[in-house]
Structure 1
Amino acid sequence: MKWGIIGTGNMGSMLTTSLIRSGAAQADEITIYNRSSKKTAKLKEAFEDLDVAKTLPALCKACDIVFICVKPHDYKSIIEQVEGELHEHHCVVSITSPVSVEELEEKLSCQVARVVPSITNHALAGVSLFTFGSRISTDNQKLLREAFHHFSTPVEVEEAHIRVSSDIVSCGPAFVSFLLKEWISAANRVAGISEEKATQLTEQMIVGLGELFSQEIFTLEELMEKVTVKGGVTGVGLQALEDHTGELFVEMFKATQAKHREDKQSIEL
């Protein structure tokens, strides 16, 4: 099986690296393409057996599974350049939530899927979100699931929930990082601990927390119960959070849903 990666920006590079490092694919089974040769050269330097295509048609001819890892508004240009080179055996995979598999199937005659990755896949962890088109074969569904299982937990998501699922899985690391930076800053302002020390403690706490979930030692509810002692400090802190969180996350999800609708309306394939 030959894999093609169109676009080697942040997500395309992450996907290429994760496929190889996890053992899901060998470097000589992957062909990459990018308008800027600087980005492909960097990947080629890291994985010398990678094939670098000079044109999009050349990549399509060399590959069976083709990932489109570009910004949503660049999809139209990519599709126009590759649609004549794609046939029934090909499978095109979108990695962006605003472009649905139904929209891709209207433009392409090949098999179609969408897989939304996460930056956490860099660590061979986290979730990848799957949506399959109506024409994709059972074999290709299995192939994609097995490949991504090497470095993530594949979860199938319906179209109606792709945005909120992407917020949790793909945008989530940035959202949580913002909250943790606020947490660190507040610890410094209120209690005088240096931000450097607070950052070290916070990062290691998060690593440990992740391990608790990874090893299924506690659920979220169980964890809160285990740490909270009646009349203790944790309970007081949780009450303060409950009193002041308000509509914070509701407003965040409202904002991302609105941006999703705006993006879908402005994207032309």
Structure 2
Amino acid sequence: MNVGFIGIGSMGSLLIDTFIGSGALKPSQITASNRTLAKAICLADRHPGLQAVPSNRDAVIDQDLVFLCIKPMEFKNVIDQIRDVIQPQQIVISITSPVMIEQLEESLPCKVAKVIPSITNYMCSGVSLCMYGNRMTDADKNRLNHLLSYISEPMPISEQHTRIVSDLSSCGPAIMSYLLQRFIDAAAEETNIPREEARIVASEMLLGTGQLLTAGGMSPEELQRRVAVPGGITAQALALLNRELDGVFNRLIRATHAKYNEDLERVKVSLYGKEVNGP
């Protein structure tokens, strides 16, 4: 299987590194293009055998799968560049949430899927959120899922839930690490514990907590019940958090959805132009 990548920014390069590191793909199976060719060449130097190419068209020709790891406003130009070389049997996979499958199917003659990865995939952990276009057969879905299974748990979702599930899987690591950072900072400020010592303890705690919530089969509510003895120290801490964080995550979700809806509209205008009688 040959796989092309258009765009090797933060997530594109992460996917390539992880596919190779996990044994899912050999470097010789990957072709990559990037707006800055030098960056693709550096990636090829890091993974001998990987082919860095100067144009997006070259990253599409003779590939079985093509990952589009680009920003929403770059789609129009990239689609225009590759439309006449893409073949019906090829599968184009977008990792950009505000670009809809229907829009890609209208613009390209091939099979289309959307996959939202997570930084946790770098550790061959977490989920990959998978959505499939109408031209994808069961065999196509199995082929893509098999590739993704090397680095994640492929999870089919409805496209209408893209944003909220992405909040949990893709934004979640940054949100949880921010909360952990504040916990560590406060521990160092209040007690003078060396910050690095606090970081190690807290990070190992978060790893163990994740294992309890997955392999351990515990729900968040059960875990809290097991740790927080009524009237105890942890119960006191949870009571404070319940007061101070009331509504915070609701506002967070409303903020991410507002930005997502803004991006949806910008992509629509970029692909189709403004409606004559539109606002």
Q: TM-score, normalised by structure 1?
A: 0.96
For 1:245, the aligned partner's letter is L
1:217, CA displacement in angstroms? Answer: 4.8
Residue by residue, what CA displacement relative to the aligned partner does 1:165-187 show, whole Å, maximum 9, x if unpaired? 11111111111111111112222
Corresponding residue number in structure 2 for 1:257: 257
Q: Deviations over 1:208-233 (max 9, x none)?
A: 22232342253322211221112211
Match of 1:110 in 2: 110
Q: 1:245 maps to which residue?
A: 245
Q: Secondary structure at the match of 1:59?
A: coil
Q: Which residue of 1 aligns with 2:43?
A: 43
Encode CA deviations 1:119-149: one digit per residue, 9 max, x unaligned: 1111111110001001112211111111101
1:125–1:151 CA contact under 8 A, matched in 2: yes
- Within 5 Å, give how 1:59-98 maps onto structure 2: 59-98=59-98
| Letter paired with 1:121 | N
CA distances 1:18-49 after superposition (whole Å, capped 9, x unpaired): 11111222211111111212321232122101
Number of corresponding residues = 269
Deviations along 1:217-263, whole A, 9 cap, x unmatched? Answer: 53322211221112211111111111111111011100000000000
Asked whether the equivalents of residues 37 and 52 of structure 2 are also in contact (C-alpha less than 8 Å), the reply is no
Give the SS at the match of 2:19.
helix
4+ residue segments displaced more than 6 Å: none
What SS class does the counterpart of residue 60 from structure 2 fall into?
A: helix
Kept after mapping to 1: 8 A contact 2:37/2:54 = no
2-side partners of 1:143 and 1:215: how far apart?
26
Greater Cα shift, 190-199 or 47-56: 190-199
Q: Distance in 2 between the 1:204 and 1:18 partners?
A: 23
Q: Which amino acid letter does the alignment assign opposite residue 180 of structure 1?
A: L
User: Which one is further off, 123-132 or 184-193?
Assistant: 184-193
Residue 3 of structure 1: aligned partner? 3
Aligned-partner Cα distance in 1 for 2:8–2:228: 46
Deviations 1:70-116 (A, max 9, x none): 11110111000000011111111000110011111111111000001
Name the SS of the counterpart of 1:67 in structure 2: strand
Q: CA RMSD in A?
A: 1.3
Worse-superposed segment, 52-61 or 160-169: 52-61
2:226 corresponding residue in structure 1: 226
Counterparts of 1:51 and 1:250, CA distance in 2: 45
Query: In structure 1, what is the Cα distance between the partners aligned to 2:118 and 2:52?
Result: 24
CA distance in 1, matches of 2:254, 2:226: 33
Q: Distance in 2 between matches of 1:253 and 1:60?
A: 36
Distance 1:62 1:108 in 2: 16
Q: Which residue of 2 aligns with 1:168?
A: 168
> Where in structure 1 are there 5+ consecutive unaligned residues?
none
On the 8 A contact 2:229/2:235 being kept in 1, the answer is: yes
Q: Distance in 1 between matches of 2:109 and 2:40?
A: 28
The AA in structure 1 aligned to 2:177 is: S
Q: Which residue of 1 aligns with 2:193?
A: 193
The residue that corresponds to 2:30 in the other structure is 30
TM-score, with length taken from structure 2: 0.92
Aligned to 1:31, the other structure's residue is in SS state: strand
Note the residue ranges of structure 2 that are not aligned, 5 or more in a row. 272-279
More helix by share: 1
Look up the match of 1:132.
Answer: 132
